[in-house]
């Protein structure tokens, strides 16, 4: 079985879990990491195993600061690490970049559904044009908004799938 197929299956399961229950199971991620290390250790030897470990570490490192700042859950960090272990450091960087694109698009959709898209756009524009910012600032103080939660695991999985298609293209 190709490691790409393993990645797709694990990503689909992780995405469903994250969308449905807002969590990514540790067992799923650990299974993926074990499969990755066994596959690379047995198929490619020491060099392949080393690249797998580099991918694991880099995947975790890329999302560690957003996790520490409260921007995402630990499952998201571990999921990107698993993807790195399966596919290596170059692939995990590509996935990270695609994830940023998918995550940004998802954030726009979630903000629109929550009715806050135009307020956020006004704040961004206002940060560049201070005259507008004072009006937006007073508008923002009149509303109390909750933290926007979205299943970032879905964006990570879409990023991984985009990376696969990018390679095949």
Once rounded to an integer, what is the mean pLDDT over residues 123-127?
74
Choice among 3-7, 64-68, 117-121 with the minimum mean pLDDT: 117-121
- Among 76, 79, 6, which Cα is nearest to 36's? 6
Q: What is the pLDDT of residue 128?
A: 72
Q: Tell me: pLDDT of 134 over 70.
A: no
Structural domain range at position 84: 3-168
CB 134 within 8 A of CB 74: no
Contacts of 150 (CB under 8 A, 6+ apart): 106, 107, 110
Q: What is the pLDDT of residue 144?
A: 58
Calculate the alpha carbon distances from 61 to 51, 76, 116 in Å: 15, 12, 31
Phi, psi of 114 (to 5 degrees): -85, -5
CB 161 within 8 A of CB 11: yes
pLDDT in tens, 36-80: 999 999 998 899 999 999 999 999 999 999 999 999 999 999 999
Contacts of 152 (CB under 8 A, 6+ apart): 18, 72, 73, 76, 99, 103, 106
pTM for the model stands at 0.86
Sign of CA dihedral 122, 128, 130, 131: negative
- Report how many domains make up the chain: 1
CA dist., res. 80 & res. 96, Å (int)? 8
Once rounded to an integer, what is the mean pLDDT over residues 131-157?
71
Per-residue burial over 55-78, b if 16 or more Cβ lie within 10 Å, else e, is bbebbbebbeeebeeeebbebbbb
Q: Which two tokens stand for residue 83?
A: 């993807």
């Amino acid at each position: 079985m190709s490691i790409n197929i393993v990645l797709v299956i694990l990503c689909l399961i992780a995405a469903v879990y994250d969308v449905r229950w807002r969590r990514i199971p540790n067992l799923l991620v650990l299974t993926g990491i074990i499969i990755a290390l066994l596959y690379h250790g047995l198929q490619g030897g020491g060099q392949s195993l080393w690249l797998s470990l580099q991918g694991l570490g880099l995947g975790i490192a890329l999302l560690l600061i957003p996790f520490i700042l409260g921007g995402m859950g630990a499952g998201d960090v571990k999921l990107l690490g698993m993807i790195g272990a399966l596919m290596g450091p170059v692939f995990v960087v590509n996935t990270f970049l695609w994830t940023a694109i998918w995550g940004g698009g998802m954030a726009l959709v979630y903000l629109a559904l929550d009715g806050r898209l135009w307020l956020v756009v006004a704040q961004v524009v206002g940060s560049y044009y201070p005259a507008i910012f004072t009006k937006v600032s007073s508008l923002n103080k009149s509303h109390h908004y909750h933290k926007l939660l979205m299943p970032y695991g879905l964006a990570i999985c879409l990023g991984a799938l985009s990376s696969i298609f990018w390679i095949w293209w």
